[in-house]
Amino acid sequence: MNYSKTSVNRRKFLRNLSIQSALLTSSPVLLASNYSQSETLISRKYEKMTFSANNQIHLALIGAGIQGIFDTKAALSVAGVKLVAVCDLYIGRLDRAKELWGADIFVSRDYREILARQDVDAVIIATPDHWHKRLTIEALQAKKAVYCEKPMVQNFDEGHEIISVQKETGTICQIGSQGLSSLGNEKAKQLYQDGAIGELVMLDMYNDRYSAEGAWQYPIPGDASPDTIDFDTFLGSAAKVAYDPTRFFRWRNYKAYGTGVAGDLFVHAFTTLNYVISSYGPNRAMATGGLRYWKDGRDVPDVSLTFYDYPQTETHAAFNAIFRVNFIAGGGGGYGFKLVGTEGEMEVGSDTVKLVRSHLNKAAGGYSLIAYTEAMQEEIRKEFEAKNMEGRKSALNIGETIYRAPDGYKGSHYDHFYNFFEAIRGRGSIVEDATFGFRAAGAALLANESYYSAKAVHWNPETMKLS
């Protein structure tokens, strides 16, 4: 995509929009310059196949916590996939795995036993962030296809290692920001390329939460103990500390094991943003925030605001992005992701896209004309109208369109795994490879780098290195 192509697409988009608006104008009361319409997105088609017992993809889960269970359920909803093994450091989760998927699955607290099994074709890695690099690399070297949860890495220096090993081994690696595969993202990309919002000037993302669970205050089971939890292995490359079940079950609250709100939440937004506008990411970030309410021992902020600069490229103008998370939003929870352009805006969700087309009013109004005589006011108005014929045409194309996924749509989580398994079977390519995953994670990690250093930080989105 380039600007000249976007200009042609924009003219086609406006022409089609004029036709649609005219069709809607069946009543004198309904004006084409204020349309409101709804469209259903076209669902994806999935190849229907029957798989024999010998043609199943054998899957293993490493990290059977909350996200690991959701991932595995989504994976098993795809035909031709069988779960054969589960690994976790807490015995209670291994018991839960057998409840969910049968007593015959192999379970272990040692991931090396999983990777050594000849009957494992692919693994889901859904562990704390500080284990992602090691497990992904070892799994790739063991020739297991890898689905690694986001963020792909905890630190900047880990991404290139994963990319290098993936290229050396040639093994499939999908990063698990499942929203990338959504119908909403797909439609938003098409609309953006068509010039539906004009030239992009800002991205506004927020994630407000108002619950203990939303702030990662997850329950700690009563049977938690050094006997039921392999805490020393959990610590991995992190500093050695005494057994602490809070750190184990609420690891996202500690920068030694997680990546804070940036790695957990910003990375989803960067995945969508970089995909929709075909970008490598930002080149500068400046963060602020603090620990305002959840002072429970965590060392990551519960309120975070980060401002990003995106440089001009062939696919977008230079623009700014605002990422905000508030874990104590007294007005209630909510999420928003809005691309703001010179001619409109798109609010993008997994299953919906809301497109609002606007018209920039360049005419002088009563506020600025009040200082002139009545005769001069009339002269100014006539002069503007004579020069602004294009403005009148574009004013007919303002209004709102909501695109919604059809009933029965299986969702982005299913689509992301469907893509993963199709690639394993040699019938497609990965949609979120390690390079894409690192660019999304790296952009998110800039927020932490800026916050803890209390200064703006610079990043080269092409080479994926701090600059």
Q: What is the per-residue DSSP string for 57-79?
A: EEEEEE--SHHHHHHHHHHHTST
In a domain, 416, yes or no: no
Structure token pair of residue 192: 């953006």
Q: Is the dihedral of CA 24, 30, 32, 38 positive or negative?
A: negative
pLDDT (0 to 100) of residue 454: 98
Q: 283 and 141, same structural domain? A: no
What's the predicted TM-score (pTM) here?
Answer: 0.90
In a domain, 149, yes or no: yes
What per-residue string of b and e applies to 63-89 under the rule 16 or more CB within 10 Å gives b? Answer: bbbebbbebbebbeebeebebbbbbbb
Q: 244 and 339, same structural domain? A: yes
In a domain, 114, yes or no: yes
pLDDT (0 to 100) of residue 54: 87
467 residues of the chain, pLDDT tens digit each: 565 556 557 656 655 655 455 444 443 333 445 789 999 999 888 888 888 888 999 999 999 999 999 999 999 999 999 999 999 999 999 999 999 999 999 999 999 999 999 999 999 999 999 999 999 999 999 999 999 999 999 999 999 999 999 999 999 999 999 999 999 999 999 999 999 999 999 999 999 999 999 999 999 999 999 999 999 999 999 999 999 999 999 999 999 999 999 999 999 999 999 999 999 999 999 999 999 999 999 999 999 999 999 999 999 999 999 999 999 999 998 999 999 999 999 999 999 999 999 877 778 888 889 999 999 999 998 888 887 655 555 555 789 999 999 999 999 999 999 999 999 999 999 999 999 999 999 999 999 999 999 999 999 999 999 99
Residues 6+ apart with CB under 8 A from 397: 14, 17, 18, 21, 32, 33, 357, 359
Quickly list H helices, 25-141: 66-76, 91-101, 111-116, 132-141
Which residues partner with 200 through β-bridges? Answer: 341
In a domain, 419, yes or no: no
Residues 6+ apart with CB under 8 A from 347: 336, 337, 338, 353, 354, 356
Q: 35 and 163, same structural domain? A: no
Task: Give the C-alpha separation, 158 to 173, whole Å.
Answer: 15
Q: 398 and 276, same structural domain? A: yes
Q: Which domain holds residue 63?
A: 53-180
CATH of the domain at 62: 3.40.50.720
Which residues partner with 399 through β-bridges? Answer: 35, 357
Q: 367 and 252, same structural domain? A: yes
Q: 350 and 298, same structural domain? A: yes
Q: 395 and 261, same structural domain? A: yes
Task: Give the C-alpha separation, 441 to 282, whole Å.
Answer: 12
Q: Euclidean distance between the first and final Cα of the chain, in Å?
A: 27
Calculate ∠ Cα 167-422-88, nearest 5°: 75
The continuous run of DSSP H or E covering 205 comes out as strand 200-208
Residues 6+ apart with CB under 8 A from 331: 208, 210
Q: 84 and 35, same structural domain? A: no
Which of 180, 213, 233 terminates a domain? The answer is: 180
Task: Give the C-alpha separation, 60 to 312, whole Å.
Answer: 42
In a domain, 119, yes or no: yes
Which of 120, 151, 180 terminates a domain? The answer is: 180
In a domain, 427, yes or no: no
Q: 202 and 130, same structural domain? A: no
Q: 31 and 140, same structural domain? A: no
Which of 133, 155, 180 terminates a domain? The answer is: 180
CATH of the domain at 289: 3.30.360.10
Q: 221 and 206, same structural domain? A: yes
Domains in the chain, number: 2
- Report how far Cα 219 is from the mean position of its chain's Cα atoms: 26
Nearest to 281 by CA among 248, 323, 246: 323
Check whether the bond before 151 is cis (ω within 30° of 0). Answer: yes
